[in-house]
Amino acid sequence: MDTESPWLSTSPAPLAPGSAEPNGLQGLRPTDEDRYDPPYEERRPSWLKRTFGPAIAAIAAFLAKFKAVLLLLPKLKLFTTAGTMFVSIAAYAWIWGLPFAVGFVVLLFVHEMGHVIALRREGIKASAPMFIPFLGALISARSLGDNATAEARVGLAGPILGSIGAAACIVVWHATGNDLWRALAFTGFFLNLFNLVPLVPLDGGRAMAAMAPWMWAVGLAGMVALALAFHNILIFAFALIGGLSSYRRWQQLRQGGEEQEAYYRVRPVDRLLVAAVYVSLIALLVVGMHATNLSRTFN
């Protein structure tokens, strides 16, 4: 093929002598750079995309945020507390009805928050309460304090705040005349009194760590006697757990060592204060139970 053919040449073709370029543009022809390409006309989105596109984009954005929330849920202690609380309410409502079940779980929560507050005052981070149907509630912490005195303070804080919560039910009972609040007060007093049994891991056993650890044996004997008297499987369970815990701690105490001696070294004034709070709590709770005792009749 002839490369000099005017069809392949990119240079302007020569003008014939005496000819003129139309429109007075003599000797000018557009080059590649001067050519003008008309703009590309964008294709309009389909009706389906225009109609549902914004909604789909909004849903996708929501799901992305919702996924982030789901990833955070296992780390939220509040979710664990609320979840176990609702399960316990459902379990107790099956036996006592919803209003009493809600009040009972709230009293458990107040009791456990007494321990949480005391632990934080000792500089120890504590978990939020977790509820176990028919067994109560519990919290977890790396320790209960640096010594037996601190452990006693943490142990007694639960019954102290729990007793205040039960006493508040008496105020509501007198204000409303509703015996539901009277029953809740009685149950709250009983709950906190039961926790003062001198047996680990109950709160009374924590107090005995600063007073007289040998009382753990007395508490175990009392728990076994209650289990035999009432034929209650839950009391048997508490006696078994308490017996194992007390035996383990008693073995640690007998082994001695500087660390154990330092832990159980309690000043006489602290021992006296713990004993005073412990005995006073028992007396007040017995009086509170007597004042709110409600005879139940069966039709």
Q: In this structure, which amino acid lies at residue 188?
A: G
Q: Which of 40-49, 108-117, 148-157, 199-208 has the lowest mean pLDDT?
A: 40-49
Instruction: Tell me the backbone φ, ψ of residue 136, rounded to 5 degrees.
Output: 100, -135
What angle (nearest 5°) sits at the alpha carbon of residue 208, between those of residues 206 and 213?
115
Question: Going by C-beta distance under 8 Å and a sequence separation of 6 or more, which residues neighbour residue 133?
Answer: 87, 88, 91, 92
pTM (whole model) above 0.75: no
Query: Mean pLDDT in the chain?
Result: 79
Q: What is the pLDDT of residues 6-31, one digit of tens each?
A: 333 334 444 444 444 444 444 445 55
Residue 227 scores a pLDDT above 60? yes
Q: What is the pLDDT of residues 108-141, one digit of tens each?
A: 999 999 999 999 999 998 888 888 888 888 888 8
Distance CA 265, CA 20 (A): 119
Residue 77 confidence class, pLDDT cut points 50, 70, 90: low
Residue 75 scores a pLDDT above 60? no
Distance CA 107, CA 165 (A): 6
Q: What is the pLDDT of residues 169-223, one digit of tens each?
A: 999 999 999 999 999 999 999 999 999 999 988 999 999 989 888 888 899 898 8
**What pLDDT was estimated at residue 181?**
96
What angle (nearest 5°) sits at the alpha carbon of residue 100, between those of residues 94 and 102?
90
